[in-house]
Structure 1
Amino acid sequence: ELNPQIAWVADPSGQITEIAPLWGDLVGVSLEEGYGEGWKRVLHPDDLPTIEEIWDEAVRTGDEDRVDARYRVRLVDGSYRWFRVRARPRHADNGSIVAWYGSLEDIHDQVLAEEALRSSEDRYRLASRATNDVIWDWSFEDQRATWAGAHKKVLGYPELHGNTDLDFWLDHIHPDDRPRVLASQTDALETGADYWHEEFRFLTASGEWIDTRSRCVIVRDESGKPIRLVGSMLDITQQKRAEAELHWAAFHDPLTRLPNRALYQERLRTAIESARQLDRFVALVVLDMNGFKDLNDTLGHAAGDQVLVEMGTRLTRNLPRNATVARLGGDEFAIIIPDLSTLDAHRVFLARLSSDLADTMEYESLSIPISFCGGLAIWPRDASGPEELLIAADLALYTAKADIPGTITEFSPGLRVAAEGRAAMLATARAALTDGRIVPYYQPKIDLHSGKIMGWEALLRMVGEDGEVFPPSYISAAFTDAEITVKLTDRMFSCVFADLANWRATGTVVGRIAINVAAGDFRKQTLAERLLAHAREYGQTLAELDIEVTESVLIGEFGPEVSRMLDELRSKGVMVALDDFGTGYASLTHLQKIPVDVIKIDKSFIDQLDYRDAKATAVTDAILQMAKRLDMQTVAEGVETIEQARYLKARGCTFGQGYLFSRPIPAVEVPTFLSTPNLHRWEFGSAVSSTR
């Protein structure tokens, strides 16, 4: 009576002779009325024929495994509830059946859950017809998988119209991925997880390996044992390729195809850490080309680009395979030679390198000399870390430039006096802040489709005591000082809001203003408060302000906190621009998570635009397409030619910024500049003549 299952007994002919009292309570019928075949009166009419057939066959054959079925029972309130019936015969010594013993088990909740799952699966299968999802359903009991969705389009195997065994799935997973996939799935099954997901390569019927993302729901029985896996496979090959291209672009120079500054920094850290463990040495050489600007001015940028490519080729072919040759920017290269056994082990490579660089290169029947200067520093002799090692190499490079051009100068302790230069920069920056000589200059951002000025970027300039205007590089050391960085940014905020107030007082409409902020501005977690305070001081709001941050700031050690503060600013109308995109290490996954409204394409990519070279434009095209899909605006930095502007316009770039339109100008010139009628025409040719 205490058993939740309802026990019953039948005679050899199948007539019910006993039923547990719980049955009468549930159906509202006396036990006597249920004896014989009376129990059939409370079965659902749709289920009765099947149950009668099963029961009659079991009684006739004596099959012990025949009676295991489901049916609905009408309860005392008139509703129906699902039960599972099971029965086994009891035999006499001569083998004849003397009675049947059975039970009824309430499985209503289980059946409803299964029906809900089937309904969900059906909806998913229907939805998958409009997508590229491959739907699969694995049964542990049958050890078979059924397939649906886009399997014909994505995988192409005819056998997937039926069902397959486990070996089919395993045999088509890439051998290098298979152990990881099996381990991941086994862990999910054994730890009680409700879901499993993994990415792996899968072989299609055409013989092509595609990248897939597989996800599934793990269906378990009441004991927690897995009984089904219902999931999907999605072809993510194109996404992977796009991410790989962006990742490569983030760590390589598009012209020379050498590692860029970001990858150089990573490899130098790795080389030093390895050398520290193995008691070895690391050589760092920084190279600059002599007269490169004159070369560009006289022979053109195409010649200069060819010299840079040739420089990278010669550097690479004269160094050991484990060395890194990187282009840090412009005509500056770096060489990392790791795992040196002695302090002098680098000399044989550098001697070979110097000899090769002494030969001229040919360009359009011209012989062009490759002139360079280099600085060499050795870890750990000259520095304890990568940053100090670069400083030491740079100091040696400066010495080579000043004293013996065309050579590689080795660092010596006496060169550390150059560190005084940094101190001088910091002092200069502090004095400029005190005297109010830090001011914004404004460079317009042009709508590439209308030709109109839609906003400006406020660029920091320092005015010397004699009135000469200096770029930020004149006090570059100040931007690595956390305290001075905040003061410089606050000065820029104050000046920009003051200029906005003056322009609006005279009816000058300038559009949105963008201001750069650095990592140091986020350390005190007061960026929003500082901005609001400056805005209120001049009776302004943040509604037309853009904040520009670099990838390293967004994805660095303060990344999560930076994102929180930027979200706070966005709620107040501020737009966030990702500056110099493509030169750091942001990926598609990052862009989906970080709070960014605008992507600024770095000048290094714009410089490479060329209708005849698809490789040179591939990265820019990929960034523009990605931004469009993510519903982000784009700004091309460093637009200098009409061809670049037209190329960017044709591919949907939102804004252009660069010397083609205007150099940065002081605030007092902005109203006059805005009144120039030619700048409001859609074609850019007239803009060139009026701004150069």
Structure 2
Amino acid sequence: MPSASESYDVPVLLAEQSLYDALCHLLNGDVHVLAVRLADALHYLSADTLIQALRQGLPGDTPLHRLALSSEPPAGGRQIPSAEGLINALPLLLWVKDRNGQFLLVNRSFAQVCGENSPAGLLGKSADDLLPPEQAAVVRETDQRVLQTGQGQALWFNIYKAPWRSRDGKILGTLGFACDGASQHHLQEQAEYQAHTLDHVLAAVGEGVWEWHPAAGAEPGLIQHSARWYALLGLPPQGGFHPLAHLLAQIHEADRGRVLAALDTCRAGLGAYVCEYRLRHAQGHYLWVRDQGRIIDTASAPGGLRLMGSVTDITALKESQHRLEHLAYHDALTQLPNRSLLADRMHMAIAQAERNGTLAAIAYLDLDDFKPINDTLGHDMGDRLLIEIARRLNASTRAGDTVARLGGDEFALIYNGLERGEDCEPTLTRLLESIASPILLQGHELHVTASIGVALCPLDGNTPASLLRHADQAMYLAKQAGRNNFRLYDPERQHRMRTQRDAQARVLAALSRGQLELHYQPTLNTLNGQTVGMEALLRWHHPERGLLRPAHFLPALRHTRSAMELGDWVLAHAIAQLEQWQEEGLPLLPLSINIASQHLLHPDFLGRLRLHLSAHTRLDPGLIQLDIQEASTPSEVKRLGRVMENCQALGVSFAMDDFGSGYASMTHLQHLPVQRVKIDQGRVRNMLEAPEDLAIVRCAIGVAQGFGREVVAEGVETEAHCHALQAMGCHLLQGDAIAQPMAAAGFRDWLVHHN
């Protein structure tokens, strides 16, 4: 099969030959297309492509491989330009002379430069007719040189001369080209202006430019960079091409593979090249750059491929993105991970625990007594304290673990890789010790502690929400246990707490619905049969279970703030009821009101008592008797004593309730200012059947009387109890044998009838 060049019978040129060479072959051979050998393959150059290249201002000595050559021969049926159309379409001055130097053919451009309106006006003339003798002689000399050598020659002023041949190759004369000086100068100025403008634009936007010529096959090839590229890196500019390996050496090691992969993708024609990576600056640090480019030529470069692109410094943008990402996942004050990042870390900890068969501990930490410091010393001091606490938490935690701030004075910690739940206890102990150490801030020595709850994954939950919730519940147990300690989550204990919370909610709901009321039970002096006092007792009109005594619902409120709220409600309603009876003219009797020690010791109790008394100024405060139970510790006894003395200053008195139920009765009588002692009703109720209880009752009566206190026996249910107590010298009795507790209206009627 004949080759493409043989099939089309066109001349074959080398890639290094010039546009002038191609033009000579087109005119001499009277053909419309040429073959160009490029990288061991033939490409094709048409007359139209050649004319377009010259019109775009490419110099005549431009190598043919710089043109956009076609890999396929022209399709059949294409219109072939005539010789006259070709020579007049060229943006050149063109002429053909015979061996004697007379013009045989000129184009319109040459004729116009010579002052003729038509090419026919120059036919048959020579240089002697157009130029001074000295110049005409030079023209004749160069014509003869071309005729003698048979080779084309580039001359001064962009003039090119070549032999004019017949079809059999015989030299008939000379063929000449010359650029239009004015047009060439204009194109050159325009190109220089565009290049100058581009340099300024690229400098303004901070971009460096590169050109890459990949070698054949998989070789990296050569690359060159603009001066701006070198300036970005603080390097002196270097001219010319250099191996791509020089650039790769400047790229961060972690980014090189990604850069090469992106270049290969572009090189294969699968898309534009875009990549962000780090380049080493001359001073040693790295810049983030955005590099983008594309293939601009597939034929003119030595390896058959040419890419160009630009590099932009995006270091400031990357730093801004990093700051925004840090703010999104870190606490602004302490720089610790926030809830969002904590959730991610918890998911990772859960997966690691499941994968390795280990445990992860989730600790919920709350500072004790932070609020008073924040309130008294200011929020700025509070912030400084939180920053110091965050530092201590980080210092007490392993590198692979996590410390996060949940908000306020609450923190969370993650401990990974535990074999047993107890493995985290030494760490938590050190953590508490570190927090409890004195903190010096701006001349203030601050003391804070922390309470910590711990939940174990996967034993106590397998989601971040459930683990944090269980750790939070365990933390509240640590608070209730005295603070400055930690507690591990206990499901059974939590079940009891949940049951208690539900019961507490029901009691508070009953209070808001008006289902709670006070009943009153009298105290009788058996020596004269007179009623000498009464006690306010809480009752719940339950819609399903009927009338409930306090033993059925008050335990749910023990040691809670709700217990104090309910106690304050009892205090207010009892005082108001007593004043109402006084206004109705009933006999004035002392009223006993039960007050829990926790309620009495609350900082607001004295103020609330004063408020209730001031709301009923016509009532004698001496009629109010507060019944308290035994304290649990000596320090609590001292605190109770101080509060009781302040209350007595308001006129109220105190009684020791449930006397004989504990082990510190005598101590209480010795140190607390009580006027009356009430013997535990459980002892009284069982004393006829239990000798031990009888002995305790007898002893309690003797101790109280020995200290000069009035003695009241509660829980008196039968006449036998009355006789036994009177025999032991106790004559103030209270219980169902005297009268059952009654609502306010019923008690009023009973009191009127009894008196």
TM-score of the two chains, using structure 1 as the length reference: 0.45
Larger Rg: 2
Higher relative contact order (CA 8 A, sep 6+): 1
TM-score of the two chains, using structure 2 as the length reference: 0.42
